[in-house]
Amino acid sequence: MLGIEFTSEALIALLKIIAIDIVLSGDNAVVIAMATKGLPKEQQNKAIFIGTGGAVILRILFAVVIVYLLKIPFVHLIGGLLLLWIAYNVLVEDKQEKEVQAAGSLMKAVGTIVVADAIMSLDNVVAIAGAASGHISMIAIGVAVSIPIMIFGSKLIVRMLDRYAWIAYIGAGILAWTAGEMITGDQFMVDLFHFRNGPVEYVFIGLLTFAVLFIGYMKNKANVQVKN
């Protein structure tokens, strides 16, 4: 099962996995960029490489066991709630005092990258596992190909965040919206509120996103007033 066999079926599965990862890596690049933008420039590359490496390893493991993972009740609901908290934290991350030691900041950034990617990849690895058609070795190869995409994408966003602070709110909005989609996609929430890709679902997701952005904005505003 773990052997690498480059048959035509395996190669087609590999191409599907790479395509899925390329399409779905945008949000993950945002996480990496927002988690590292507060670090000194000499530590940003280290945090990106370590965090991305850990995230990719976890994503491969998730893809291998996803069939069993999705049998656990409320997994999407819990993951969505955790991602909402992360969206808020990365939004106000750069407003915290800079007296935190460099090593602590580096590990915090790495932890944010790994945890956020693991949560956000639940839906991603479902698609990857389906595209793999049982070729687990293709999952590992395909996900590994996404490493440079995530790294280069995140570094571009880091530069943009340094120049345009308002982009942080767009990033947090993407994370919050993704969290809302995970929450409304949980079977418990579907049964409770009858979410079926209709207007009610999008209103619910929109309200969650607005709430995170508004609370984050008010927190940032309060921090500025305290410093002044």
132: domain range? 8-227
Structurally, the chain folds into a number of domains equal to 1
Q: Report if residue 126 sits inside a domain.
A: yes
Q: Report if residue 206 sits inside a domain.
A: yes
| Per-state percent for the chain, helix, strand, coil, to nearest 5 | 85, 0, 15
Mean per-residue pLDDT over the chain, rounded:
75
Q: Report if residue 14 sits inside a domain.
A: yes
Q: What is the DSSP letter of 136?
A: H
8-46 pLDDT tens trace: 777 777 777 777 666 556 667 777 777 787 788 778 888
Whether the pLDDT of residue 1 is over 50: the answer is no
Whether the pLDDT of residue 155 is over 80: the answer is no
Please report how the helices 8-24 and 136-163 are oriented relative to each other, as an axis angle in degrees rounded to 10.
20
Three-state DSSP class for 1? coil
97-153 pLDDT tens trace: 433 333 457 888 888 888 877 776 666 666 666 566 666 677 777 777 766 666 676
Q: Report if residue 164 sits inside a domain.
A: yes
pLDDT at 207: 95
Measure the CA–CA gap between 21 and 112, rounded to whole angstroms: 20
Q: Report if residue 2 sits inside a domain.
A: no
Which one is predicted more confidently, 85 or 158? 85
pLDDT at 210: 96
